[in-house]
Amino acid sequence: MRITSLAQYHEAYAESVNHPERFWANIANEFDWIKPFTKVLDWSFDDYSVKWFEDGQMNITANALDRHLKTIPDQAAIVYEPNEPGDEAITLTYRQLHARVCKFSNVLKAQGVKKGDRVCIYMPMIPELAIAVLACARIGAIHSVVFGGFSAQSISDRINDSLCKIVITTDGAVRGNKNIPMKETVDDALLSCPCVETVIVKTRTKTPVAMLKGRDLWWEEEEAQASAECAPEPMNAEDPLFILYTSGSTGKPKGVVHTCGGYMVYTAYTFANVFQYNPGDVFFCTADIGWITGHSYLVYGPLLNGAISVLFEGIPTYPDAGRFWDIIKRHQVNIFYTAPTAIRSLMGFGDEVLEGKDLSSLRVLGSVGEPINEEAWQWYHEKIGQGNCPIVDTWWQTETGGLMISPIAGITPLKPAFATLPLPGVQPILVDENGKEIEGNGVNGNLCIKYPWPSIIRTTYGDHERCKTTYFSTYKGLYFTGDGCMRDEDGYYRITGRVDDVMNISGHRIGTAEVENAINMHTGVIESAVVGFPHDVKGQGIYAYVICEHPTINDDLTRKDILATVARVIGPIAKPDKIQFVTGLPKTRSGKIMRRILRKVAEGEFGSLGDTSTLLDPSVVDSIIAGAQ
């Protein structure tokens, strides 16, 4: 399955388009199947349904763990770098990880968790987070990891949407010099989650926490009693593996569902090829397991390849802005995968931070989550990669499960700030507003994909209609990504950003409607409108226009109160960077907010607002501009 030259890439690509079933069946057959598949693909984008390897049976952990026990049992699987640089790093070999996953699988089983049950995981970046994820997969329970920065309200919304019966958490978390409550937040969430029967709590900070008799259990005590043997549950390839909630342009976040077989094949294939992983390489993905990048390229993709994966608990700026570089030296990292926002933020600390840092172990660099601007790309290339590490700018989404458009390290000729070419199996197409294909090169359009790949989203949990309307109804017969894209003269792809009402804040996806709903919950707020605006470090920042009941609200305290409300409803990552109090919003006669105008004002482009004649009250715009200056 390994591509080793540009010619081979082109060959593999052609084969994947001309004979997609044969192409993916060959790759899938490199894995261990409990029952081999005979059908490869069944699909329709019109009445959305996709099934890969549907009559095959397997278990992803048998492939990610057991398979390696025969060959590399004593090689590191996960290297845990704790928040405190002075604390000992902990290595779990494949044998140790396997044993701990089996034990925790038995803990879950003892609590009555069965195949198909949903398990919510709300934990900081410690090895037990990966163990909990893998234990679910081993017994066929569907994990729903909720990023540790989300609020109690966000946790309970997610738990109730998929009716999780168990929650796994820690007493607290440490990030930089902050102590963060975890169990307490879960306790708040569970006040409105009658479906949860059990909470398992791993000790991390030794913070005092409430432990309810009959509901709450300590991880350590349960693990100590559990056997280290647990056979992997046979799963149909199309059984759900996990749910991961992500923001869309409307309403509440939706539960993206990925299934076992296709996700396994695709994440393993893309990891091996894009990063050109060689046995023994140390791979460091800085993403949190609470996001898709952590799922696919910290846990599953690397482990399926028998890789060594670094799991970092802390933040890039603690104890100082050289932390990533120290970790690279400490663990002799060969492949480093991070987000443009981190690169831009670290660039801002100046090159002095890099003095004396030994980055010579690095061979490949990766970027993910948002467009990387050329300046950041050059700095990353020169200062971190010392001019000789290829940068793979990987474009993909929660819904795609794995990397879609990306260079293959050292093989695809690079262009700064371009995701370059589609990976084998990915058939991108650019369309205009009406869904008409834009052919040729040197063009811009909306990015769609016209053929299924193995880890495409299968459904949105509990609401298949929503999946159909969100992704498959904008343009008939196509998966719509929500992204704008340019294809240059060489046929290279550059993602230009979202064309819908989804913002990308420091690589985190947040819907404008979600933030508006949170702001509107604040007392005295009548209405609000939220847009993204260019931000030097975060890529995009959040700009909120807010109408309040009382005219005296234009003060700092109200702003801070609104921020507190948003943090409480969604989480601190959704706090607006700017709040402007206004007396009206630019609406059309039919009552629709003209966000285009608000975006321009947020960007400071007051002179190019375009046509405002269709507004109900054009004078609103003047007063907004006056307030913005």
User: In the set 16, 63, 504, 528, which binds ligand PRX (CB under 6 A)?
Assistant: 504
187 - beta bridge partners? none
Query: Which candidate, 508, 135, 130, places its Cα nearest to that of 312?
Result: 130
Closest approach of ligand PRX to the CB of residue 226, in Å: 34
Instruction: Fill in the DSSP letter of residue 299.
Output: I
The CA–CA distances, whole Å, from 377 to 396, 413, 541, 621 equal 18, 15, 20, 37
Indicate whether 498 belongs to the interface with ligand PRX (CB under 6 A): yes
What letter represents residue 44's amino acid?
Answer: S
Q: Which residue is nearest to ligand PRX (CB)?
A: 398
Indicate whether 509 belongs to the interface with ligand PRX (CB under 6 A): yes
Closest approach of ligand PRX to the CB of residue 539, in Å: 9
Pick the piece of the chain touching ligand PRX (CB under 6 A) from 195-203, 364-372, 510-518, 562-570.
364-372
Closest approach of ligand PRX to the CB of residue 481, in Å: 6
Range 408-467, binding ligand PRX (CB under 6 A): 419
Contact, 89 vs 328, CB < 8 A?
A: no
Pick the piece of the chain touching ligand PRX (CB under 6 A) from 121-129, 266-274, 275-283, 392-400.
392-400
Indicate whether 370 belongs to the interface with ligand PRX (CB under 6 A): yes
The whole-angstrom separation of Cα 298 and Cα 337 is 10
Closest approach of ligand PRX to the CB of residue 102, in Å: 30
Closest approach of ligand PRX to the CB of residue 508, in Å: 7
Name residue, tokens 């482009």: 605
Q: Which is nearer to ligand PRX, 172 or 301 (CB)?
A: 301
Q: Which two tokens stand for residue 308?
A: 């060594």
Pick the piece of the chain touching ligand PRX (CB under 6 A) from 70-78, 106-114, 396-404, 423-431.
396-404
Indicate whether 397 belongs to the interface with ligand PRX (CB under 6 A): yes
The whole-angstrom separation of Cα 557 and Cα 540 is 24
Q: Which is nearer to ligand PRX, 170 or 246 (CB)?
A: 246
Concatenated DSSP letters of 522-557: STTEEEEEEEEEEETTTEEEEEEEEEESSGGG-SHH
Indicate whether 512 belongs to the interface with ligand PRX (CB under 6 A): no
User: Which H helix or E strand runs over 511?
Assistant: strand 508-511
Q: Which two tokens stand for residue 236?
A: 């149909």
Pick the piece of the chain touching ligand PRX (CB under 6 A) from 326-334, 345-353, 368-376, 455-463.
368-376
User: In the set 398, 420, 558, 565, which binds ligand PRX (CB under 6 A)?
Assistant: 398
Q: Which is nearer to ligand PRX, 113 or 389 (CB)?
A: 389
Indicate whether 292 belongs to the interface with ligand PRX (CB under 6 A): yes
- Exposure b/e, 266-304, CB count within 10 A at least 16 = b: bbbbbbbbbbbbeeebbbbbbbbbbbbbbbbbbbbbbbb
Q: Is the dihedral of CA 16, 21, 26, 27 positive or negative?
A: positive
User: Which H helix or E strand runs over 368?
Assistant: strand 364-368
Closest approach of ligand PRX to the CB of residue 502, in Å: 7
Indicate whether 495 belongs to the interface with ligand PRX (CB under 6 A): yes
Q: Which two tokens stand for residue 468?
A: 């159909």
Instruction: Fill in the DSSP letter of residue 233.
Output: P
What letter represents residue 562's amino acid?
Answer: I
User: In the set 305, 394, 446, 565, which binds ligand PRX (CB under 6 A)?
Assistant: 394
Concatenated DSSP letters of 400-447: G-S--B-PPTTTSPP-TT--BSBPTT--EEEE-TTS-B--SSSEEEEE
The whole-angstrom separation of Cα 70 and Cα 68 is 5
498 - beta bridge partners? 483
User: In the set 149, 366, 369, 401, which binds ligand PRX (CB under 6 A)?
Assistant: 369
User: In the set 253, 482, 541, 586, which binds ligand PRX (CB under 6 A)?
Assistant: 482
User: In the set 83, 273, 293, 412, which binds ligand PRX (CB under 6 A)?
Assistant: 293
Q: Which is nearer to ligand PRX, 169 or 394 (CB)?
A: 394
The whole-angstrom separation of Cα 391 and Cα 367 is 7
Indicate whether 395 belongs to the interface with ligand PRX (CB under 6 A): yes
Range 244-283, binding ligand PRX (CB under 6 A): 246
Q: Which is nearer to ligand PRX, 290 or 424 (CB)?
A: 290
User: In the set 239, 281, 393, 514, which binds ligand PRX (CB under 6 A)?
Assistant: 393
Residues that bind ligand PRX (CB under 6 A): 246, 292-293, 368-371, 393-398, 419, 481-483, 495, 497-498, 504, 509
